Amino acid sequence: MSDLPKFVHINEEGPREGFQFEKGAISTARKIELIDALSATGLRTIQVASFVNPKNVPGWADAEAVVAGFERKPGVRYTALWLNAKGFERAAATQRLDITGSITLTASATFLKRNQNRNLAQNLEAQREIIDLYRQHGTPIERGAIMAAFGCNFEGDIKIATVLALIEDILALAAEHKLDIKVMSLADTMAWATPLSIKRMIGAVRERHPDLRLALHLHDTRGMGIANALAGLEMGVDIFDAAVAGLGGCPFAAHKGAAGNVCTEDLVFMLQEMGIETGVDLEKLIAAAELAEDIVGHPLPGSVKVGGPLDKMRAAHR
């Protein structure tokens, strides 16, 4: 437990994750309402929209309108998702987002084809092209990411050696363009990870690249989200993607129960109980989770919004 970080940075992805996955139409105004509520919680990074093909992800056909409508709060970074040059240019054109680039590869060829309609070689070349585009726009590139890093519904378990090779590919691309990758994100896109596989993967990466800061993107389809986050914490990971109330899921994962990211308020609760700082007001975050549930119109899987934090209960027993 000696590797536990003192502070954890949470990238809130609930709006983007959730509104890409919900079957019913959600108004632009209500999407903005949730983003503004999250802005008041102390979260420092919020992914607010997805600039993807609206034919494939109709829930984000209004990405520009959402980005134009939310109120920017000082100290909060507002980010977005895109999968190609067109999406990046749409996001950049809003001039309201904190745009940074990443080099993103995928450990599963089948998932890559379904998600982005590319093969592995095409994706590698696409990364070169988008790096050039980022540089033309003066966009900083300090992050690498590997999707489906722990397992795939189409291909099964992903070997550690596969992920290590992809990290080398990312670092080679970065070196080719004289870039310094500061963070490497490992995504459990289809929720195959367990605490043991998290520790084995992170241990292998740390052994090869001890100075590379790691982030985790964890899904909770099989109820392992918080357990996997704890395993990552114990290995020194201090950056996590999360989704308020457990919103969302991946529409291309071939799993009807594909849950969203690890629930933000559950993660913050655990971290606070462990004495790890996040800068997040848990009560305000729970209120945002309740709002998210109201917006989508059905129960969401977060637990702490139901059970509540322990502070008030402890106070009652003093």
Q: What Cα–Cα distance (Å) separates residue 288 from each residue in 100, 115, 129, 285, 292?
A: 26, 30, 38, 5, 6
Angle between helices 120-137 and 160-176 (to 10 degrees): 40
Helix, strand, or coil (residue 103)? strand
250 labelled catalytic: yes
Contacts of residue 44, Cβ cutoff 8 Å, sequence gap at least 6: 9, 10, 75, 76, 77, 279
Catalytic residue among 250, 253, 259, 263: 250
Largest alpha-carbon pair distance within the chain? 62
Please say whether the beta carbons of 243 and 22 come within 8 A: no
Q: How far apart are CA 265 and CA 279, in angstroms?
A: 12
Active site residues: 250
